[in-house]
């Protein structure tokens, strides 16, 4: 059986491909563990300076594999709180806490947890034909995989509730117009554009990127004063990196900087 998640490391960029195309890359237990292992690897290996996530086939990810939730084959209702705690939430926490950029190329439909995992990453590019669907309400569930947080922070309550309660698909273009994602890209250009961006990040000032990510995320919950303190602390750390010294030296020498991620 093929691996449910494919990984390929090149020039500091870890390409992670969700790989259950006949199920639209829906999550079974194996895929959960494999995605988590890939993100954990990005935490552990200094050589990895950026992650790019995409899906194999025509979809990005259709969320939970509902074949594993057939009530006619179960002895009673499942404890979905337990499956979130065991499978989804650790991966979401690893994504948000990774001190390196994560780019997502949403190559096709992203539904349920599949949509929300994409939204939790740092830079979301989506093919114009892609759709984001908060599919939960159609089967009696509620937004998970960080969706209630990200949708409300990024869109506000009205649009978050509209998407979550109706389950209507949102086009990539509309998602970009609303500020839910970074960009909608022509289908044929998606992987080239996402790969070029990820490679650019992979040769950038990794510590500065990681601190920038932390700072923007902290602003969702901090007040202004706390955020100023946070900026003071992150800038202090950034100012001590070799990449900052290289950036300033390169500017003064009128040459391109060579960042080493340190």
Which stretch in 117-125, 129-137, 155-163, 235-243 sits in contact with ligand T3D by CB under 6 A? Answer: 129-137
- Which position among 135, 155, 190, 197 is part of the footprint of ligand T3D (CB under 6 A)? 135
Considering only residues 78 to 107 of the shown chain, the ones binding ligand T3D according to CB under 6 A are: 80, 83-84
Q: Which residue is nearest to ligand T3D (CB)?
A: 63
Q: Which is nearer to ligand T3D, 101 or 147 (CB)?
A: 147
Which stretch in 21-29, 93-101, 213-221, 231-239 sits in contact with ligand T3D by CB under 6 A? Answer: 21-29
Please tell me whether residue 151 binds ligand T3D under the rule CB under 6 A.
no
Q: Which is nearer to ligand T3D, 180 or 238 (CB)?
A: 180
CA separation for the pair 116, 112 (Å, rounded): 7
Please tell me whether residue 133 binds ligand T3D under the rule CB under 6 A.
yes
Smallest gap from residue 55 Cβ to ligand T3D (A): 11
Which stretch in 63-71, 153-161, 180-188, 246-254 sits in contact with ligand T3D by CB under 6 A? Answer: 63-71
Contact between residue 98 and residue 39 where contact means Cβ atoms under 8 Å apart? yes
- DSSP per-residue codes, the chain: ---SEEEEEETTEEEEEE--GGGTT-B-HHHHHHHHHHHHHHHH-TT--EEEEEESTTEEE-SB-GGGG-GGGSSS---HHHHIIIIIHHHHHHHHH-SS-EEEEE-SEEETHHHHHHHHSSEEEEETT-EEE-GGGGGT----TTHHHHHHHHH-HHHHHHHHHH---EEHHHHHHHTSSSEEE-GGGHHHHHHHHHHHHHTS-HHHHHHHHHHHHHTTT--HHHHHHHHHHHHHHHHTSHHHHHHHHHHHHTS-------
- Which position among 105, 111, 123, 198 is part of the footprint of ligand T3D (CB under 6 A)? 111
Q: Which is nearer to ligand T3D, 68 or 233 (CB)?
A: 68
Smallest gap from residue 24 Cβ to ligand T3D (A): 4
- Which position among 13, 16, 18, 24 is part of the footprint of ligand T3D (CB under 6 A)? 24
Residues engaged in binding ligand T3D (CB under 6 A): 23-24, 26, 62-67, 69, 80, 83-84, 109, 111-113, 133, 135-136, 139, 141, 144
């Amino acid at each position: 059986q093929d691996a449910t998640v494919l990984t390929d490391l090149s020039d500091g960029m870890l390409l992670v491909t969700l790989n259950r195309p006949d199920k639209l890359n829906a999550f079974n237990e194996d895929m959960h563990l494999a995605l988590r292992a890939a993100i954990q690897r990005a935490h552990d290996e200094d050589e990895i300076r950026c992650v790019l996530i995409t899906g194999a086939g025509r979809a990005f990810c259709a969320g939970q594999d509902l074949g594993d939730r057939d009530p006619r084959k179960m002895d009673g209702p499942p404890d979905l709180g337990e499956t979130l705690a065991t499978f989804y939430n650790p991966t979401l926490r690893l994504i948000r806490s990774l001190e390196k950029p994560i780019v997502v190329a949403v190559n096709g439909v992203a539904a349920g947890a599949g949509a929300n995992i994409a939204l939790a990453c740092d830079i979301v590019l989506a093919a114009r034909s892609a759709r984001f669907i908060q599919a939960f309400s159609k089967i009696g569930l509620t937004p998970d995989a960080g969706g209630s947080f990200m949708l409300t922070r990024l869109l506000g309550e009205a649009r978050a509730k509209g998407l979550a309660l109706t389950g209507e698909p949102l086009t990539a273009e509309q998602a970009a117009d609303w500020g839910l994602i970074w960009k909608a890209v022509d289908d044929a250009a998606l992987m080239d554009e996402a790969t070029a961006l990820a490679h650019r990040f992979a040769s950038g000032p990794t510590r500065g990127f990681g601190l920038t990510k932390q700072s923007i995320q902290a602003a969702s919950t901090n007040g202004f004063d706390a955020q100023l303190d946070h900026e003071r602390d992150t800038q202090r750390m950034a100012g001590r990196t070799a990449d900052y010294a290289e950036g300033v030296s390169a500017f003064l020498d009128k040459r391109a900087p060579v960042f080493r991620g340190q």
